[in-house]
Structures are given as C-alpha cells and as structure tokens.
C-alpha cells in the first residue's frame, strides 16, 4: 500500500503537499496562511513530513532530503512516549 498504488494514500499525501505549497506560496504575503518566517514554515514542513512518513514511508524516503530526514528523526525521538497507537490526522 503506497502513494503510487493506493488512491486513498495518494489523496491524503496530496492534501498535505497542497497545504505545504500554500504555506510556502503565502510566506511574507500577510495572508492567513503566512506563518511570518521561513523558519516557521520549515518547522511546519518537518511536521508534515512526519505525517507523510506515517502514511507511506517509501514515498517519504524519496521526498525528503537527508537534512529533512535528520530533522524528522530528531523530532520523532524527542517526543514523549504517549502509549497509544495514534495516527496523524490528515
């Protein structure tokens, strides 16, 4: 099950990618989607990559740069253990 073979997986990931594109396009535009700084938009992108990784790790591996993967790993392993099997809401 993955981005290239499952329509539901593709739709979920495409929504995430479209949201990120809107965030990046609105940077410094003083709109509702303007996060105000490149650093803020990058932090959000790392969180979105975590969501993509949870949906389809193979697609994530082809999408994220090595630096982004390192940031994702740091973010994942620095989170407290919740004890549940929650999936990211998309």
Which residues, in sequence order, are CB contacts of 6 under 8 Å at separation 6+? none
**Per-residue pLDDT, 68:** 94
Domain ranges in the chain?
7-77
pLDDT in tens, 25-82: 887 788 887 777 888 888 889 999 999 999 999 999 999 999 999 999 987 765 544 4
| Per-position b or e across 54-87, b if 16+ CB within 10 A of its CB | ebbeebbeebbeeeebebbeeeeeeeeeeeeeee
Contacts by 66-75 with C-beta closer than 8 Å and gap 24+?
71/46, 72/46, 75/46, 75/47, 75/50
Phi-psi region of 83 (alpha: psi -120 to 50; beta: other; left: phi over 0): left
90 has a pLDDT exceeding 70: no
86 has a pLDDT exceeding 80: no
**Per-residue pLDDT, 31:** 82
Q: What is the pTM of this model?
A: 0.77
Comparing 14 with 40, the larger pLDDT belongs to 14
């Amino acid at each position: 099950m993955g981005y290239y073979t499952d329509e539901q997986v593709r739709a979920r990931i495409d929504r995430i990618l479209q949201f990120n594109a809107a965030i990046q396009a609105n940077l410094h535009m003083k709109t509702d989607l303007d996060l105000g700084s490149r650093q803020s938009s990058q932090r959000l992108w790392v969180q979105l990559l975590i969501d993509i990784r949870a949906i389809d790790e193979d697609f994530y591996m082809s999408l994220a740069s090595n630096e982004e993967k390192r940031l994702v790993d740091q973010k994942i392993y620095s989170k407290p253990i919740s004890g549940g099997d929650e999936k990211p809401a998309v």
